[in-house]
Amino acid sequence: MASTNDLKNGMVLKLDGGQLWSVVEFQHVKPGKGPAFVRTKLKNVLSGKVVDKTFNAGVKVDTATIDRRDMQFSYMDGEYFVFMDMETYDQLHVDKKAVGDAANFLIEGFTASVARHEGEVLYVELPAAVELTIQHTDPGVQGDRSTGGTKPATLETGHEIQVPLFVTTGEKVKVDTRTSDYLGRVSS
């Protein structure tokens, strides 16, 4: 339990019957007339939905403990992604739903942040950018500008992104894990 006066960005609250909400931003407001209150922007940990919520100042709110650990992706086991805790070497099976879009960028050996609450995996978070190899892309034809100077390319994970015409098969590129945008070539 904590008071609304103790809120901090990143704190996770249990509201609305046990749903987990992360504090994105908060502001303490003391109007000239009436009691003080706290205006917050909350993000649902599971769905990503963002809502604005106002609390009276000093009201008790239920907090949740989220255990975030860096784990290394080991392999796929049917429908599950297997991660290894780098400290204890324990293996954790995570279903596709919890991995979400991070699955598009996971290859063996990558380190990801795995967030758990009461033993249940909530989500898997990758760094903002990763370096992957282009598995296949067609040669870029100079003068072909119908696509704005980009062409589709398949990464080593099987995920398809748009790259500039000069990128070739076998090159290592940096990719934004949040938007799937090409960020640049990686020099060897």
**Residue 154 falls in which region: left (phi positive, over 0), alpha (psi -120 to 50) or beta:** beta
What does CATH list as the number for 2-63?
2.30.30.30
Model pLDDT for residues 12-40, shown as the tens digit of each residue: 888 877 888 888 899 998 888 888 999 99
- One fold for 67-125 and 129-185: yes
Residues 6 or more apart whose CB falls under 8 angstroms from that of 183 comprise: 129, 173, 174, 175, 176
**Does the domain made of 67-125 have the CATH classification 2.40.50.140?**
yes
pLDDT for 165? 85
pLDDT of residue 86: 87
pLDDT higher for 147 or 96? 96
Q: What is the CATH number of domain 129-185?
A: 2.40.50.140
Phi and psi angles of residue 94, each rounded to the nearest 5 degrees, phi first: -120, 130
Q: What is the 3-state secondary structure (H, E, C) of the chain?
A: CEEHHHCCCCCEEEECCCEEEEEEEEEEECCCCCCCEEEEEEEECCCCCEEEEEEECCCEEEECCCEEEEEEEEEEECCEEEEEECCCCCEEEEEHHHHHHHHHHCCCCCEEEEEEECCEEEEEECCCEEEEEEEEECCCCCCCCCCCCEEEEEECCCCEEEEECCCCCCCEEEEECCCCCEEEECCC
Name the token pair of 108. 């063996």
pLDDT at 71 over 90: yes
pLDDT at 5: 83
Segments making up each domain of the chain, as ranges: 2-63, 67-125, 129-185
Q: Is the pLDDT of residue 169 over 80?
A: yes
Worst-scoring range by mean pLDDT, 66-70, 87-91, 127-131, 148-152?
148-152
Q: How is the beta sheet containing 50-56 ordered, strand by strand?
A: 2-3, 60-63, 12-15, 19-29, 37-44, 50-56
pLDDT digits (tens, 9 = 90+) for 100-142: 888 899 989 999 989 888 888 888 888 889 999 999 998 876 6
